[in-house]
Structure 1
Amino acid sequence: MIAKKVLLVGNFGVGKTSLIRRFVLNEFSEDYISTIGVRVSTKIVELNSEKIKLLIWDVAGTKDDEKVPKAYFLGASAAMYVFDLSREETYLNIKSQINTVKELSGLEYITVVGNKKDLLTSTELEKINKIISIPIDLVTSAKDDENVEDAFIALAKQCLK
């Protein structure tokens, strides 16, 4: 079995912790508890008959002008940038935020996930897809358990590249 450090990053309140809880524990809570610093969870996934222990770093959400310690990013094999589909301020500067994550982590590719799909209609979702300046890899709902596992499997695949 191999262990790989993966990061979940993005603004505060976008659902990073909820995605992790849904993936690791298959639980969802409406309660919002802000992550302070970083919280690490683990889950073993099997991919191509290989077991991978994902060390999932839930990096505290920030505002655009706040800096996250570079040490959190060191040694990461993959990263997921999460934004809230229902809050425009979480994706307005998405391109520069992802570039910052790339610089800090040294990763060439970041998986981009729009969360909280359950709060939007399909028409609203189409409008957002047109506004966002970069491709979105997956649209998820931690609440409805939609595409959550797929998002983490995408991270695991990134680890093996």
Structure 2
Amino acid sequence: MIAKKVLLVGNFGVGKTSLIRRFVLNEFSEDYISTIGVRVSTKILNVEEEEMKLLIWDVAGTSDDEKIPKAYFLGASAAMYVFDLNREETYINVDAKIQELKDISGLDTILLVGNKKDLLSEERIEEIRATCPLPINAITSAKDNDSVEEAFREIVVQSLK
């Protein structure tokens, strides 16, 4: 069995914990409980005929002036930057944030995921896609379980590269 460490990072309140909970436990809660430090979850899945243990690090949300400790990235195979589609301040400077993460992590690719799709119309989501500084890899809704599995499968594929 292959074990891969992946990180979910992004501003506070964007739904990182909700995405992980949906993926690992198939649960969703409206209650907001802020993550302090790091919470690690595991899930075993089969990818490309290989059994894989995913160690998912849920990194506490940050604000724009806070930096994620470099130590969190040690041994990481992939990372997902999550933003809230309904809060422009969580994605307006995403290009700089992802470059900063690449610099401290050494990772070539960091998946960009817009969460909370259930709060917006398709037209508004397309506007965000057009104005976001970087291409968005996945649009998800932890609440509706929309594209969550696909986003995590994509991060697994990235971790294999």
TM bucket normalised to smaller: over 0.9
Q: Which residue of 1 aligns with 2:89?
A: 89
Q: TM-score, normalised by structure 2?
A: 0.98
What is the letter of the counterpart of residue 42 of structure 2?
T
Q: TM-score, normalised by structure 1?
A: 0.98
Higher mean displacement: 67-76 or 6-15: 67-76
| TM-superposition CA deviations, 1:97-139 (whole Å, max 9, x none) | 0011111111000111000000000111111111101100010
| Mapping 1:68-107, distance limit 5 Å | 68-107=68-107
Structure 1 stretches lacking a partner, 5+ long: none
Q: Which residue of 1 aligns with 2:146?
A: 146
Question: Offset at 1:68?
Answer: 1.6
Tell me the distance in 2 between the aligned counterparts of 1:44 and 1:98: 27
Matched, 1:31 2:20: no
Q: Identity of counterpart residues, as a percentage?
A: 70
What is the letter of the counterpart of residue 117 of structure 1?
K
Question: Offset at 1:159?
Answer: 1.3
- Where 2:76 maps in the other structure, the secondary structure is coil
Contact between 1:118 and 1:144, CA under 8 Å: does it hold in 2? yes
What is the letter of the counterpart of residue 149 of structure 1?
E
Contact between 1:75 and 1:105, CA under 8 Å: does it hold in 2? no
Tell me the distance in 2 between the aligned counterparts of 1:4 and 1:140: 22
Tell me the distance in 1 between the aligned counterparts of 2:76 and 2:103: 12
Q: Which residue of 2 aligns with 1:157?
A: 157
Higher mean displacement: 12-21 or 63-72: 63-72
Tell me the distance in 1 between the aligned counterparts of 2:60 and 2:23: 18
Tell me the distance in 2 between the aligned counterparts of 1:60 and 1:127: 28
Q: Which residue of 2 aligns with 1:114?
A: 114
What is the letter of the counterpart of residue 89 of structure 1?
E
Moved over 2 A (4+): none
- Where 1:86 maps in the other structure, the secondary structure is coil
| TM-superposition CA deviations, 1:70-123 (whole Å, max 9, x none) | 101111000000000000000011000001111111100011100000000011
| TM-superposition CA deviations, 1:32-84 (whole Å, max 9, x none) | 00000100000011011101100000001100101221101111000000000
Aligned residues: 161
Structure 2 stretches lacking a partner, 5+ long: none
